[in-house]
Amino acid sequence: MNNQAYFKDKVVIVTGASSGIGLAAARAFGAAGAKVVMAARSLEKMQELSASVAPEDKVLCVKCDVSVEEDCKTLVERAVERFGRIDILVNNAGLSMRAMFKDLDLKVIERLMDVNFYGTVYCTKYALPYLLEAKGQVVGVISIAGYSALPARCAYSSSKYAIRGFLDTLRIEHLKDGLGVLVFAPGYTESNVRNAALVADGSAQGKTPLEEGKLMSAERCAEYLLKALRRRRSQRILTPLGKATVFMHRLFPRMTDRMTYKFIAKEADSPFK
């Protein structure tokens, strides 16, 4: 079954849809004939981009800060009011950080948990009755850091581990209900997430330590996401490095710790230096 056959007229909510993987996914769903609900804090930006996602009658833009429970509730209500159902929820909105824990203002951890973890919890909670009715699917876009921790990203890794635990639990609870639950873990992907990442005092990093052009494109990542949903996968880990890291962490955790340390120490302006 191809994307057009599977996703045509399905109602899909994508959070963090104004850039990066979220925007690429919204466009991919739209190209496959889905009705797309774009959610992000930047309403004007989404409205400018919406024409590239789907025809006007098949796209809805909703201003939503996923760290605010009421915003998530309103998002779901607006989606159902406009399209009558929800088939897929893609919890993609996220925030990163880069600093050693010893230097970190605790408000950074709180902020990342609010956006990454509670954003996923809030949206899933309010969408769940409609997803169960449709025997639909819920996705959590996590990271390899949700399987094998990244130093200088303690809040980020913690939030991604938490999302994985939450979704794995949800999958078991609804094993007999026809609900699909996908934990989707990209590796390093070209995006704005590292520019927006918070540093020790809670301000934005404003730059990336990686060569973004050499990373997997957001569009390629979105292709993998749609394929995993179409096959109703429960887990998808991307990139050879990501797969190797998860495998090594499971079998050789201490060796993986040392290799990860060396890898992060080579970053530009590494916090280790």
| Per-residue confidence (pLDDT) for residue 6, from 0 to 100 | 95
What are the tens digits of pLDDT across the range 14-61? Answer: 999 999 999 999 999 999 999 999 999 999 999 999 999 999 999 999
CB 264 within 8 A of CB 152: yes
Q: Which two tokens stand for residue 257?
A: 């710790």
Share of the chain above pLDDT 70, in %: 95
Residue 212 has pLDDT above 60, yes or no: no
Q: Residue 99: beta bridge partners?
A: 153
Task: Tell me how far apart the alpha carbons of residues 41 and 112 are, in angstroms, rounded to a whole number.
Answer: 16
| Per-residue confidence (pLDDT) for residue 192, from 0 to 100 | 65
What are the tens digits of pLDDT across the range 131-168? Answer: 999 999 999 999 999 999 999 999 999 999 999 999 99
Task: Tell me how far apart the alpha carbons of residues 89 and 76 are, in angstroms, rounded to a whole number.
Answer: 10
Average model confidence (pLDDT) across the chain: 93
3-state helix, strand, coil in the chain (%, to 5): 50, 15, 35
Position with higher pLDDT, 270 vs 243: 243
| Per-residue confidence (pLDDT) for residue 111, from 0 to 100 | 97
| Per-residue confidence (pLDDT) for residue 191, from 0 to 100 | 66
| Per-residue confidence (pLDDT) for residue 225, from 0 to 100 | 97
Task: Tell me how far apart the alpha carbons of residues 94 and 79 are, in angstroms, rounded to a whole number.
Answer: 21
The Cα-based distances of 31 to 7, 49, 157, 184, 273 in angstroms read 9, 14, 32, 21, 45
Tell me which of 17-26, 222-231, 238-247 is least confident. Answer: 238-247
Residue 65 has pLDDT above 80, yes or no: yes
Q: Report the catalytic residues.
A: 156
